[in-house]
Chains A and B, each alone.
Chain A
Amino acid sequence: MATKLIQLQNVTKTYVTGPVKYQALRGISFTINKGEFVAIMGASGSGKSTLMNILGALDIPTTGKYKLNKKDISSFSDDDLAQIRNKEIGFVFQSFNLLPRTTVLKNVERPVMYSNVNKKDRYKRAMEKLEMVGLADKTNNLSNHLSGGQIQRVAIARALVMNPSLILADEPTGNLDSKTAKEIMDILGSLNKQGVTIILITHEDDLAKYAKRIIRLHDGLIATDKKIKK
């Protein structure tokens, strides 16, 4: 029996701008187990980004429940959400992933600074993850002297550094050439083989093939939810 990591129950999100109400999510329910590699796809306007914000604990649903690791976080305060993001979720974004003019090591160490881990352990953890992404020799390079592929690998190391339950990758290869993109996706794939749960938000079918399950959104609702047999 697989362990449930994410449980969404009839989640909706409505944005109110003055007199205009816009329902971005209109009732989403699904469960993601530990160790899954899920791609969430959809055209722009499908509610993909809104869903990512909620899954990433950056935002809370208007109605419905979101349980992460059996904890209902759908009505958490800003600070509690910050703590959840720190401990449970690792982000890899499309662009502007790193702190400018800051060394690779300090970028990876940063999330650990917001938890109660001492400096020695912080360094050990950061180095361990940098080795995993093959950048142990670049620790003192400044972030603005790295290539696009290296930047995303640092971002992955940073996402992993708190040993989160979940890696949330939002178009992680959007700014990369196809060869580098493949490298990054291979790293994510191998992390998943080691048991890391990965949610990939993308609109590219090519990338979705790395996932084991594809959830397609359309107009704020789930259109399809398919497991991929390999």
Chain B
Amino acid sequence: MDLQELISLAFEALKRNIVRTLLTMLGIIIGIASVITIISLGEGSTQSIVSQISAFGANVLTVSPGKSQRTGHGGGGGTTSTVTTLTSDDAEAVDKLYEVETVSRIMSKTFTITANSESSSVQVTGADASYGEIQGNKYLSGSFFDEGDVIGASKDIVLGDQVVEDLFGEGAEQFVIGETVRVDGRVFQVVGVVSDNSGAVVPITTAQGFLIGQTHLDSISVAVIDVELIDKVTEDIEILLMDNHGIDDPELIDFGVRSSQAFVETISSVTGTLTALLSGIAAISLLVGGIGIMNIMLVTVTERTKEIGLLKAVGAKNQSILVQFLIEAVVLTFSGGFVGIVLGAGLAFVASNMMSIPFVIRLSSVLLSFGVSVGVGILFGYYPAKKAAKLSPIDALRYE
């Protein structure tokens, strides 16, 4: 008997009790579908975050306040920090370093922006004129504000295209330049629209003076002249700022310097760990599904004892019976796996659309799911199949 024939025999046997077959498969379907969905959403959100950060470019360092390890991976979430020691003086000092191309002071806060009757909650960033260059912005219309606007604390604002769409409607990018919007009740004039962006930027001086009203910085963006110098500049900045802040002990450092690359790595490792953790939880349902399959296969073997006796009487060897029942279990889990993958991909597609992150299904996770479902079938189908194979034909034929 070839494999194809064994598989069609297995399908016939499983069809004989279709409701039971489907219920048994459900464990595997749910397990595989959740793993596929979680991995897909994990990948999607990682990609979405990474692409946002990578827009900064590989030569950009971020100095943020807060305690940090020297590896640069700690000190996380500088924006929520209440440490107030990062100041414009620090930014000026860093700017004087030879390998630094340019720096921008950063502070941000979420405000409601209104235009006409529409309003939208937007993260508004105060920055220097160099920020546009550091970010590598693409402008759909207009441009970034310049040095003069920063010095004059002008009420200029650069909007992300998504903010423009929310406030002015689709396709409004071309004619919003010169229009006014209200941020926290204050009137600002739109000077530029940035593509693929959902924030807003105003001059740092304006943010300090009118909007956020703080003097300390949330972070400093630093563009280095060459990517190769990232590590050296990181160290230079640390030494410089420790000196500025009068800190001798590296353990007491009150700021952190991170490259966007390190940030991407941190985020990726965090989402990776989360994905692995959630997948692990989902995998438990696979285990439960597998035990369900073993249970049902044991029932099946008992129910079909006479049939096994008959097959042995007409010449089936122990191995033929073993293979037949094992294939039945694998066909069961493989079909469950297939349905699970389709279902999981569908769920991931809908969810990623709702979360507006990219929809990612890796071939590797599909292949892994098929592998796992076959593995579960073999693992949990072996014992019942072995039990069937070992039945003595005489006892089996006599079984009532």
For residue B166, CB closer than 8 A to chain A, the reply is no
Q: How far is the CB of A59 from chain B (nearest CB, A)?
A: 6
Q: How far is the CB of A80 from chain B (nearest CB, A)?
A: 9
Query: Is the pair B315, A111 in contact by a Cβ cutoff of 8 Å?
Result: yes
A residues 68-125 in Cβ contact with B at 8 Å: 78-79, 82-83, 85-87, 91, 93, 96-97, 99-102, 110-111, 113-115
Query: Is the pair A97, B310 in contact by a Cβ cutoff of 8 Å?
Result: yes
For residue A58, CB closer than 8 A to chain B, the reply is yes
Knowing A59-B394, A102-B12, the reply to whether A91 touches B314 (Cβ < 8 A) is yes
Q: How far is the CB of B259 from chain A (nearest CB, A)?
A: 66
For residue A61, CB closer than 8 A to chain B, the reply is no
Query: Is the pair A79, B318 in contact by a Cβ cutoff of 8 Å?
Result: yes
Knowing A59-B394, A114-B1, the reply to whether A100 touches B307 (Cβ < 8 A) is yes
Query: Is the pair A53, B315 in contact by a Cβ cutoff of 8 Å?
Result: no
Q: Which bracket fits the contact residues of B?
A: 20 to 34
A85 to B320, CA, bound (A): 14
Query: Is the pair A113, B16 in contact by a Cβ cutoff of 8 Å?
Result: no
For residue A48, CB closer than 8 A to chain B, the reply is no
Knowing A78-B318, A114-B1, the reply to whether A91 touches B306 (Cβ < 8 A) is no
Q: Which bracket fits the contact residues of A?
A: 20 to 34
Q: How far is the CB of B396 from chain A (nearest CB, A)?
A: 10
A158 to B316, CA, bound (A): 14
Q: B314's contact among A59, A86, A96, by CB below 8 Å, is which?
A: A86
Query: Is the pair B307, A111 in contact by a Cβ cutoff of 8 Å?
Result: no
Q: How far is the CB of B235 from chain A (nearest CB, A)?
A: 73
Query: Is the pair A113, B1 in contact by a Cβ cutoff of 8 Å?
Result: yes
Query: Is the pair B16, A101 in contact by a Cβ cutoff of 8 Å?
Result: yes
Q: Which residue of B lies closest to A80 (CB)?
A: B317
For residue A56, CB closer than 8 A to chain B, the reply is yes
Return the CB mask of B356-368 against A: 1 if under 8 Å, else 0.
0000000000000
Query: Is the pair A83, B317 in contact by a Cβ cutoff of 8 Å?
Result: yes
Query: Is the pair B317, A79 in contact by a Cβ cutoff of 8 Å?
Result: yes
Residues of A within 8 A of B316 (CB): 82, 114
Query: Is the pair B318, A113 in contact by a Cβ cutoff of 8 Å?
Result: no
Query: Is the pair A114, B394 in contact by a Cβ cutoff of 8 Å?
Result: no
Q: How far is the CB of B340 from chain A (nearest CB, A)?
A: 28
Query: Is the pair A96, B306 in contact by a Cβ cutoff of 8 Å?
Result: yes
Q: How far is the CB of A79 from chain B (nearest CB, A)?
A: 5
Knowing A58-B393, A101-B16, the reply to whether A114 touches B315 (Cβ < 8 A) is yes
A220 to B320, CA, bound (A): 34
For residue B397, CB closer than 8 A to chain A, the reply is yes
A58 to B397, CA, bound (A): 10
Residues of A within 8 A of B394 (CB): 53, 58-59
Return the CB mask of B136-166 against A: 1 if under 8 Å, else 0.
0000000000000000000000000000000
Knowing A53-B394, A96-B306, A102-B12, the reply to whether A91 touches B317 (Cβ < 8 A) is no
B residues 274-317 in Cβ contact with A at 8 Å: 306-307, 310-317
A97 to B306, CA, bound (A): 9
Return the CB mask of B364-400 against A: 1 if under 8 Å, else 0.
0000000000000000000000000000011001000
| Chain A positions near chain B (C-beta within 8 angstroms) | 53, 56, 58-59, 78-79, 82-83, 85-87, 91, 93, 96-97, 99-102, 110-111, 113-115, 158, 162
6 interchain pairs, CB-CB under 8 A: A79-B317, A82-B318, A86-B314, A87-B315, A99-B310, A101-B16
